[in-house]
Structure 1
């Protein structure tokens, strides 16, 4: 798969993940936010929870799970720290979530995947 096709697929997966989260009551605050220390695919809020979300699109659930390793989660966590001042209010709970997007399945939202 070319880089361009992978980029297009990633954007589609992020859009699908964002709609899934909206249907569950989340408000999407930002998409594809880059920092010098990493990137966050989605930033969402529901009540007093702010979630920094990594989206993984793969052919299978197992492939999506394998794609979410400690190295990637650390990058998301560092980016979340860099972005917290912009999106987190006093008293908010902050967490790192993941959404796995697999063909012909509803996106799977995993809460609080990083405990670093």
Structure 2
């Protein structure tokens, strides 16, 4: 059984996945493990592969969720995404987006912010 933090993170990823698919993206991976760490969500939008980092917070007491994307986390995302692209022999464009969610576990209308191309 998952602890509260894991449940909260899973809920945030589900909210993000719904937002992504509602925007016309095709979800092609979730919690994909690489030697460089896990990628929360992977989607295709036309010919572009988009790797998503999802940050979920119930309050801004420790800063907004998007502030959790520090230099070390960006490096991890670049390495994980590059590994995935090479492993799957993907030719074409890709980017990394961040979805920041503020809300309570199970909340029907959490605040969602989508930051495109956060590594660039």
Q: Scaled by the length of structure 2, what TM-score is found? A: 0.84
Distance 2:89 2:13 in 1: 21
- Alpha carbon RMSD of aligned pairs, Å? 1.8
Structure 1: segments with no counterpart, 5+ residues = none
Distance 1:96 1:42 in 2: 10
Count of residues in Structure 1 that have an aligned counterpart in Structure 2: 112
CA offset digits 1:21-73 (Å, max 9, x no partner):
10100010000011111210000011011111100001346420221111111
Bigger share in helix:
1
State the match for 2:101 in structure 1.
101
Distance 2:76 2:84 in 1: 12
Structure 2: segments with no counterpart, 5+ residues = 104-108
**Relative to structure 2, which stretch is displaced further, 99-108 or 65-74?**
99-108
CA offset digits 1:72-110 (Å, max 9, x no partner):
1111111101101355643x2100111011114342111
Q: Scaled by the length of structure 1, what TM-score is found? A: 0.86
Distance 2:80 2:90 in 1: 17
What SS class does the counterpart of residue 31 from structure 1 fall into? strand
